[in-house]
Chains A and B, each alone.
Chain A
Amino acid sequence: MIVEVRSPAAAATGTAPASVSRAPANILAALPALAFVAVLVGLPLATVFYEAVRSGFAAAASVFSEPYAQSAIVLTLEVAAITVVANTVFGVLAGWTLAKYRFPGKAWLIAAIDLPLTVSPVVAGLAILLTFGPHSPIGAWFVAHGVHVVFALPGIVLATIFVTFPYVARTYSTYLLEQGRELEEAALSLGASVWQTLWKVTLPSSRWALLTGVLLCNARAMGEFGAVSVVSGRIRGLTDTVPLHVEILYNEDAFVGAFALSAALATVTMVFSAMRTIAERRGQTIGVSQRKS
């Protein structure tokens, strides 16, 4: 169920330059599309940056010197780092398993990994709350051992892992499935162990595809809102992430602060998203050249 997100520019490189049609006609045919996307997407994006700086850059910058905003930034970086490591380890394992072995029920396993894509973030947060909250047996066990899962860092991390679970695994497994397993079989038949094959053959040849998934996972982890808002408890300075702090500032009518923080967060996630697109294009060119050689 994951979208095959491919850049049309890279995908269209196969079309011959002779088929490029006249430029004025192109613009005319494209104008309604440009207008639609400019209104639906461009205007909200411009609003974020305009509202952030409408009272001047100094007012916008002042939000970053507030202790609550600073602790929210630190928490968001921590949560994203743990989530990315966890989902990358799982993603490599799941990608390898789905691409290199034959087993019954493979479609079911893929469906299970993709499940969070179709689950509401609020339901995802609720699932973590009910599973690890103090009213559940698991949560009670953790509390008895002095570990607070929900309304604390572990719960925020678990909710973020749930929501971003498919990104690395599915991007990576899709790529590995396309590549086949001839390289691994050659390495194994020459006497390499499974670990050597994974570290020296599979990972180096698929590093761009892995990076694509990792960057996507990171961007989503930093911006996760619905799931985290269920399990966080919103304790300022403790369990308040950047997206949650944006909501708090906005509801307090601190619009400049809310939009300044939003502009910074959106810039970071958009940079990671752009890097993902670049990594994806690199992966595609390398994948094609490997298959040709």
Chain B
Amino acid sequence: MDRSLGTPASRDIVPGRALALGTTIALATLAVLMPLAVVVLVATTADWRTLGPELVSSRMTAAFRLTFGASLAAALVDGVCGTYIAWVLVRRRFTGIALLDALVDVPLAIPTAVAGIALATLYGAHGWAGAFLEAHGLHVAYTPLGIGIALAFVGLPFAVRAVTPVLAALPKEFEEAAASLGANRVVTFARVVLPQLVPAILAGFALALARGLGEYGSVLFISGNLPLRTEIAPLLIMAKLEEYDYHGAAAIATVLLVSSFLLLLAIALLQRRLTTRSVRA
């Protein structure tokens, strides 16, 4: 992809490298790296004799288990359904596809607080979906299921849009060849299309997951924020800030940052392995 690496003859033709690179690095450091470093720094200077036991307390572990569990579940649903929606968007033609195309982008386009109050109202006891589901004994608002739905909502565009360009670039001839050799639609998709999409699906899964792990606005209203039951990790940070416990907030933020990065790094490594394998094949 990086063409500038491929032409040794054109090296250093564009002047101004030191100034442009220096300013870019300085601005990125000032705006992003320095503030994040301060969070980690404040966390390490905390009084860990009191903070350590608190971090492994049942309230903390419950919040982290819920954050990671709900995010993984939502990203999984988004990954599976998003791949199928992407396939419909790229390979099917019918009136109304523009509506589907536009709806998929809505979670990216509307602010999270707006999504949050809409989901809380919709799945609340008096909402369209909430009234129906409660009549059938299913509670969504103030439960982990509600958090999962909110996270699936915000993650969906990432899962779909990671797959559509890759799917659109796949030559249709492969599928036609498989079909002409007698494979039905399901077999064609599972054995011809799907293997080539796996890196893109994983990328979409990782983006939906990353979004879910840090999500706040869309979850805040539907979760009810009950400690031990429906409290997510970003809310713990908010709770600490309300007590003016900056060290505690920084410590939880650092745990969230590090655990998210490790999880996303693992997915990136898996993705790279799968990509190199498919290139070799």
* A residues apposed to B, CB below 8 Å: 1, 3-9, 11-12, 14-15, 19-21, 23, 26-27, 29-30, 32-34, 36-45, 47-48, 51, 90, 93-94, 96-103, 106, 109, 112-113, 115-124, 126-131, 133, 135-136, 158, 161-162, 165, 177-178, 180-181, 184-185, 188-189, 194, 197, 219, 222-226, 229-230, 243-244, 246-247, 250, 255, 258-259, 262, 265-266, 269-270, 272-274, 277
- Shortest 8 CB-CB distances between A and B: which pairs? A120-B214, A223-B111, A127-B35, A273-B109, A11-B168, A226-B216, A225-B217, A122-B234
Which A residues are CB-close (under 8 A) to B35? 124, 127-128, 130-131, 162
Cβ–Cβ contact A123 & B253, under 8 A = yes
Which A residues are CB-close (under 8 A) to B203? 3
Please give me the residue from chain B that is nearest to A224 by CB atom: B111
User: In the complex, what distance in Å separates the CA atom of A265 from the CA atom of B152?
Assistant: 22
Task: Verify if B164 is at the interface (C-beta below 8 Å from A).
Answer: yes
Q: 24 A-B pairs, CB-CB below 8 angstroms?
A: A5-B161, A6-B168, A8-B168, A9-B98, A12-B168, A14-B168, A19-B176, A29-B88, A32-B84, A33-B85, A34-B100, A44-B153, A47-B122, A51-B118, A97-B20, A102-B5, A103-B17, A119-B36, A122-B216, A135-B246, A165-B31, A229-B238, A230-B238, A250-B221
User: In the complex, what distance in Å separates the CA atom of A262 from the CA atom of B224?
Assistant: 20
Task: Verify if B76 is at the interface (C-beta below 8 Å from A).
Answer: no
Residue among A37, A126, A225, A265 making CB contact with B103, cutoff 8 Å: A37
Cβ–Cβ contact B93 & A20, under 8 A = yes
User: In the complex, what distance in Å separates the CA atom of A42 from the CA atom of B118?
Assistant: 11
Cβ–Cβ contact B162 & A4, under 8 A = yes
User: In the complex, what distance in Å separates the CA atom of A112 from the CA atom of B57?
Assistant: 33
Please give me the residue from chain B that is nearest to A198 by CB atom: B16
Cβ–Cβ contact B110 & A266, under 8 A = yes
Cβ–Cβ contact B117 & A122, under 8 A = no
Please give me the residue from chain B that is nearest to A113 by CB atom: B28
Cβ–Cβ contact B234 & A226, under 8 A = yes
Stretch of B48-56, B138-146, B255-263, B272-280 on the interface side: B255-263
Please give me the residue from chain A that is nearest to B216 by CB atom: A226
Cβ–Cβ contact A185 & B14, under 8 A = yes
User: In the complex, what distance in Å separates the CA atom of A57 from the CA atom of B91?
Assistant: 41
Cβ–Cβ contact B33 & A112, under 8 A = yes
- Binary contact track B1-35/A, C-beta < 8 Å → 1, others 0: 11111000011011111001101110111011111
Residue among B11, B93, B128, B167 making CB contact with A102, cutoff 8 Å: B11
Cβ–Cβ contact B93 & A26, under 8 A = yes
Residue among B114, B122, B172 making CB contact with A262, cutoff 8 Å: B114
Which B residues are CB-close (under 8 A) to A90? 24, 27, 31
User: In the complex, what distance in Å separates the CA atom of A277 from the CA atom of B103?
Assistant: 13
Which A residues are CB-close (under 8 A) to B261? 118
* 6 further A-B pairs in the complex, CB-CB below 8 A; given A40-B156, A41-B156, A269-B111: A5-B161, A8-B86, A29-B92, A102-B5, A136-B38, A273-B105
Cβ–Cβ contact B117 & A101, under 8 A = no
Instruction: Using C-beta atoms within 8 Å of the partner chain, give the interface range for chain B.
Output: 35 or more
Which B residues are CB-close (under 8 A) to A225? 111-113, 116, 216-217
Cβ–Cβ contact A177 & B85, under 8 A = no
User: In the complex, what distance in Å separates the CA atom of A266 from the CA atom of B108?
Assistant: 11
Cβ–Cβ contact A33 & B100, under 8 A = yes
Task: Verify if B231 is at the interface (C-beta below 8 Å from A).
Answer: no
Which B residues are CB-close (under 8 A) to A100? 4, 14, 20
Which B residues are CB-close (under 8 A) to A106? 2
Which B residues are CB-close (under 8 A) to A109? 24-25, 28
Cβ–Cβ contact B162 & A3, under 8 A = yes
Residue among A98, A124, A188, A277 making CB contact with B14, cutoff 8 Å: A188
Task: Verify if B75 is at the interface (C-beta below 8 Å from A).
Answer: no
Residue among A41, A120, A274 making CB contact with B213, cutoff 8 Å: A120
Q: Please judge, given known A-B contacts A37-B85, A258-B117, whether A123 and B14 are in contact too, CB under 8 Å.
A: no
Which B residues are CB-close (under 8 A) to A194? 14-16
Which A residues are CB-close (under 8 A) to B106? 41, 45, 270
Q: Please judge, given known A-B contacts A30-B100, A37-B100, whether A120 and B234 are in contact too, CB under 8 Å.
A: yes
